[in-house]
Amino acid sequence: MSSEIELKFLTTPEQLERLQTVLIAKEAQHTRQHLVNIYFDTPERLLQQHKVALRIRKAGERFIQTLKTKGKSVGGLHQRNEWEWDLDKPVLNGDYLATAEWPEQVSIDSLAPLFETNFVRTQFVVRHNGALFEVACDQGAVEAGGKSSPICELELEIKEGAVPDLIGFAQSLLQQVGCYPSDISKGERGYYLSGCLEFKPGSARIKSAMTIAQFASYQVEQWIAGVDQFILTMEPRFLAKSSQALSVLMQLDDAGLIFDAGVACDDVTFARVAGQFDEHRRLLEQIMHACSNDAAPTGARDSIVRDLCESSDMAMIALAIMEIATQSGLP
């Protein structure tokens, strides 16, 4: 068992190519593989209910069985436990699952394929300021029930180091490539396409006795979740949650409760922050208005993703709030 700690970003094919060119120029070790992943669940979707993901991945000549638990997300930083086992053939091995955090209520015999992810991963191993990271550039699609959703994302994972190292590394990369923070997994996309996952546009309840850092981090989660859900569904109502969260972040910043707290975050010019929350909120509201018709225009998704990725300051601001939360003792 290992603990996976990663950051995920939405991006475009052009930006991924740009990043790969930069990393290759730095002679970073890299590989490229076509990965096919079959996700499993019971007819009652018990694994989904337990927030567990189970898949078999074909990577070259290898078959790998992977189990991931729910984990937790703090302002877009995702942490979860993960188990991997090599298989001789693409058939689930129940003996392996019995050694992991497997839900007792789930019968292994009742599992069946549900959806597939099919993508090309260009993976780099990069050492930065003494820490070691994996950089995964993924392009492909999630496919379920005759439906498909494109994959074009950047994942950064710690291999050696700590969370502050990961945030600093991400900040250095975002100076060179346009990305947008994301916190939705490929598995969640597959469940949505399978008709097994329904997103709720309303904000989740705020927990009592939150610190300012926790509250700001929570608002970042709400902002990112709303955009993630909109990009997947193309339903503009989800952007209302993002707009509301950005309004709250703007109020916190106006009151000097975030960036005036004396926390120095790399590569963020705080003089620019004040207007960014409101400017980005207006951009999301423009997108909501443009997509308010029953059907979004053909090609609208790709155009919107490009607009979002050009809002590079927002990804840097999300990382800065994440850094503040980390320094305040959040996991």
CB under 8 Å to 166, separation ≥6 — which residues? 5, 6, 7, 77, 131, 133, 156, 157, 158
Are 144 and 190 in contact, with CB atoms under 8 Å apart?
yes
286: number of Cβ within 10 Å:
12
Pick the CATH number of 1-198 from 1.10.3720.10, 2.40.160.20, 2.40.320.10, 2.30.31.70: 2.40.320.10
pLDDT grade for 137, boundaries at 50, 70 and 90: very high
Strand pairing class (29-41; 53-59): antiparallel
* Residue (of 276, 282, 289) closest to 321 by Cα position: 276
Domain segments of the chain as ranges: 1-198, 201-331
pLDDT grade for 6, boundaries at 50, 70 and 90: very high
Residue 268, pLDDT score:
44
pLDDT digits (tens, 9 = 90+) for 170-195: 999 988 888 999 999 999 999 999 99
Burial class (CB in 10 A: 0-12, 13-18, 19+), 262: exposed
Mean pLDDT of the chain: 87
pLDDT grade for 202, boundaries at 50, 70 and 90: low
Residue 293, pLDDT score:
63
Model confidence at 146: pLDDT above 50: yes
Structure tokens at 76: 């877009």
Report d(CA 222, CA 204) in Å as an integer.
Answer: 8
Q: What is the full DSSP assignment across 86-123?
A: EESSSS--HHHHTTS---TT--GGG-EEEEEEEEEEEE
> Locate tokens 């994942």: which residue?
155
pLDDT digits (tens, 9 = 90+) for 213-228: 888 888 999 999 999 9
pLDDT grade for 269, boundaries at 50, 70 and 90: very low
Residue 134, pLDDT score:
96
Residue 176, pLDDT score:
87
Q: What is the full DSSP assignment across 126-169?
A: EEETTEEEEEEEEEEEEEETTEEEEEEEEEEEEEES-HHHHHHH
**For the chain, what percent of residues have pLDDT higher than 70?**
89
Q: Is 285 helix (H, G, I), strand (E, B) or coil?
A: helix
* Residue (of 63, 78, 311, 57) closest to 185 by Cα position: 78
Strand pairing class (131-144; 112-128): antiparallel
Residue 270 Ramachandran class (φ > 0 left, ψ -120 to 50 alpha, else beta): alpha
Are 266 and 164 in contact, with CB atoms under 8 Å apart?
no
Report d(CA 318, CA 331) in Å as an integer.
Answer: 16
**For the chain, what percent of residues have pLDDT higher than 90?**
62
Can you give the C-alpha Rg of the chain in angstroms?
Answer: 20
Report d(CA 98, CA 225) in Å as an integer.
Answer: 33
Query: Which stretch of DSSP H or E encloses residue 302?
Result: helix 300-309
Residue 325, pLDDT score:
77
pLDDT grade for 198, boundaries at 50, 70 and 90: confident
CB under 8 Å to 76, separation ≥6 — which residues? 7, 8, 181, 182, 183, 220, 221, 224, 318, 322
* Residue (of 156, 136, 3) closest to 69 by Cα position: 3
Q: What is the full DSSP assignment across 218-281?
A: HHHHHHHHHHHHHHHH--GGGHHHHHHHHHHHHHHHHTTSSGGGS---TT--GGGHHHHHHHHH
Are 194 and 149 in contact, with CB atoms under 8 Å apart?
no
Residue 329, pLDDT score:
55
pLDDT digits (tens, 9 = 90+) for 58-77: 999 999 999 999 888 776 78
Are 116 and 145 in contact, with CB atoms under 8 Å apart?
no
Residue 216, pLDDT score:
87
